[in-house]
Amino acid sequence: MKTPFVELPLKTDDGEFTTRYSETGLTELSFPITSRRRRRGDESQNSINSIESDRDSSRRLLQIKIRGWHRLTEAALKAILAGRQPNKFPPLDLAGTAFQKSVWHALRKIPVGRTKSYGEIAQAIGRPKAVRAVGGACGANPVPVLVPCHRVLAANGKIGGFSGGLERKRRLLAREGVKI
């Protein structure tokens, strides 16, 4: 039986993010909920408390791992939100196509305070004509901010889209010292 996802809140000065973990790492990071957006329901979600009540030793080990990953997620997220490079990241368990995963891997190489264009990412992954597909992969990024799709701009240096909204993208880039 596969372990269900564990969903935990993560409070920051920018609001309460939602994290989801599998038995192998962070699977999702959702932006704080606004009045215009409602959280989606998922019957497979658990809280850490429901795992705590289970006496099975493998469940307790998973609980300990997830608590550690959550601390790493919190530290990394807060560092990036403050415009700094995190010291360490939690393990990631990202569901996506091979193409999407290659884009997300390339995004993680963009340092704090730097940007790349969609075309530069397409070049970096060896698919120079896949510029629009790179944009689609950025939009499908399940852990925005930690996989920094906010650091990707259009070829003309314009801000482009962002799953967290353009104003949030502008704020993240400004905190990193990027001038648009």
Q: Give me the active site residues, please.
A: 149
**Residue whose token pair is 């599998």:** 22
d(CA 112, CA 3): 34
List Cβ<8 Å contacts ≥24 apart for 70-79: 70/8, 70/10, 70/19, 70/21, 73/10, 73/19, 73/26, 73/29, 73/146, 74/10, 76/146, 77/10, 77/12, 77/17, 77/29, 77/145, 77/146, 78/12
